[in-house]
Amino acid sequence: MAGHFELVDAPDGGYRVRMLDGSGSLMAISVTFPTKRAAVAGIVMAREIAGTGLIRDRSSKGAGAVIRDRIGSVSSAKESGARGKKMSGAARAVAG
């Protein structure tokens, strides 16, 4: 199941956007937007970046490298278990 976005009140006024995965787990929270319209525009931008943006590794050992490998989606343990039951052993080995 696809995740979704939620508009929530920011503690200092304005709005924030929460991105949740398909099981409802929090994946990201945005900066504060002054209006709902600006928050929705932020969601549009996030969708564009998520669909086309590069992944830059800024971790301590990443040195800013661009990750070009195709990596499958990360699922919750519940989703992984359900998917594992539907996949063949060979498919699980590739996905795993």
Closest CA to 75 of 66, 87, 90: 87
The predicted pLDDT at position 74 comes to 60
* Pairwise CA distance, residues 5 & 77, whole Å: 21
Interacting residues of 76 by C-beta distance below 8 A, sequence separation 6+: 21, 22, 23, 25
Task: Give the other-Cβ count within 10 Å of 46's Cβ.
Answer: 16
DSSP single-letter state for residue 20: E
The predicted pLDDT at position 79 comes to 56
The predicted pLDDT at position 64 comes to 77
Q: Which domains does the chain have, with CATH numbers?
A: 1-53 (3.30.160.160)
* Pairwise CA distance, residues 72 & 4, whole Å: 19
The predicted pLDDT at position 82 comes to 52
- pLDDT tens by residue, 54-76: 888 888 888 778 887 666 666 55
* Pairwise CA distance, residues 47 & 28, whole Å: 13
The predicted pLDDT at position 27 comes to 95
First-residue to last-residue Cα distance in the chain: 19
The predicted pLDDT at position 85 comes to 47
Low-confidence ranges of the chain (pLDDT < 70): 1, 69-96
The predicted pLDDT at position 28 comes to 96
The predicted pLDDT at position 63 comes to 78
